[in-house]
Amino acid sequence: MKTLSCAIVDDEPLAVQLLESFVKRTPQLSLAASYTDSVEAVRQLTQSPVDLLFLDIQMPDVNGMELAHQLPPTTFIIFTTAFREFAFESYEVNTVDFLLKPIRYTKFLAAVEKVVQRYEERTTASIPSGRAEVGASYIRVDGELRRVDFSQILYVSGMKDYVMFYLEGERRPWITHLTMKAVEQMLPADRFMRVNRSYMVALDKIRSIDRNLCLYIGDEIIRVTDMYKDAFNEYLNRLGLKT
C-alpha cells in the first residue's frame, strides 16, 4: 500500500493545525499542502491533485461543496465541518466520510481507513491483463477478491459508496465498497451504459424497452431518466431503432 498524498482546506487556522497533527500521526498519509484560502486551494488542487482532501464546507469566497465539484474525480474527500445539515449534499461528490467538529483522532483514523480500502478497491478494479483478461475484473466482496466476468453482469445499482453487481446465475447481488463513478471507469463503455443516477446496465442483456424508456432486464425494470435519455437514444439510433 502506497502512502496517500493529502491536503487540508479550512479557513480556521486552529482546525488546520489539528488536522495536520492527525496526519503526522497517521503512517498511511503524507501531507502535500494546507490552505486557509479556498480560492488558492482550488487553483493548486486542480493543477496538482492529491489522493485525499480534508475539506471544510462553510468558507468564504468558495465554499467546500463548490470546491469539491471542481476537483478531479480521482480525489477522495473527507468533509470536516460543524454543520450536520450538509451531510446529505456532500455525497453528490466523491465523499468517503463526513466528520463533525470537534474531530477526535479515532474518528479521523476510521475515515482514513475507509479511504485506504476505497483506494485499494479502485486499484484492484484495474488489475493488468496478466492477471485478468479484458473481459473481467476483480471486486472485493465479503473481505475477499472475486473475479467478475463482464459477460455475466446484468446490471449494477449503487447507493452512496456501495454498489451491487447483479449477475447471471447468482441468486444474490455481490455488494462491494465502490462508487458508481468507479464502476463506470471499470466497465467497457461499448457494453455498459449508465441510465440513471443509481443504475448501469449491460446493453446486451436488455430484453425489451417500452415507450417510456423502461428497460426490462433480469427481474428488474429500470427507467432511463431525463439526464441520460439523450445518450441512450443515441445508442438506439446507432442500432437503427426508435422507441
**Per-residue pLDDT reduced to its tens digit, 148-195:** 889 999 999 998 778 999 999 888 999 988 888 888 888 888 899 999
Rounded mean pLDDT of 90-97? Answer: 63
Rounded mean pLDDT of 203-213? Answer: 92
Q: pLDDT at residue 132 above 60?
A: no
| Alpha carbon distance 33, 73 (integer Å) | 19
Residue 218 pLDDT: 87
Q: pLDDT at residue 143 above 70?
A: yes
Q: Considering the chain, what is the average pLDDT of its residues?
A: 85
- Cβ neighbors of 23 (< 8 A, separation 6 or more) are 6, 8, 29, 30, 31
The set of cell numbers assigned to 149 is: 466476468
Q: What are phi and psi of 203, to 5 degrees?
A: -60, -35
The burial class, CB within 10 Å (0-12 / 13-18 / 19+), for 143 is exposed
Residue 91: band (very low, low, confident or very high) from pLDDT cuts 50, 70, 90 = very low
Residue whose grid cell is 469566497: 61
Rounded mean pLDDT of 141-148? Answer: 80
Residue 119 pLDDT: 83
Minimum mean pLDDT range among 27-41, 87-101, 125-139, 157-171: 125-139
**Shortest CA distance to 6 belongs to which of 150, 146, 14, 25?**
25
- Return the HEC string of 160-217: CCEEEEEECCCCCCEEECCCHHHHHHHCCCCCEEEEECCEEEEHHHCCEECCCCEEEE
Does residue 188 or residue 93 have the better pLDDT?
188
Residue 90 pLDDT: 43
Q: What are phi and psi of 72, to 5 degrees?
A: -60, 150
Rounded mean pLDDT of 209-235? Answer: 92
Q: pLDDT at residue 243 above 60?
A: no
Residue 140 pLDDT: 81
Amino acid at 26: T
Residue 139 pLDDT: 82
Residue 131: band (very low, low, confident or very high) from pLDDT cuts 50, 70, 90 = very low
* Helix extents (H) in 36-179: 38-47, 64-68, 87-90, 105-124
Residue 69 pLDDT: 81
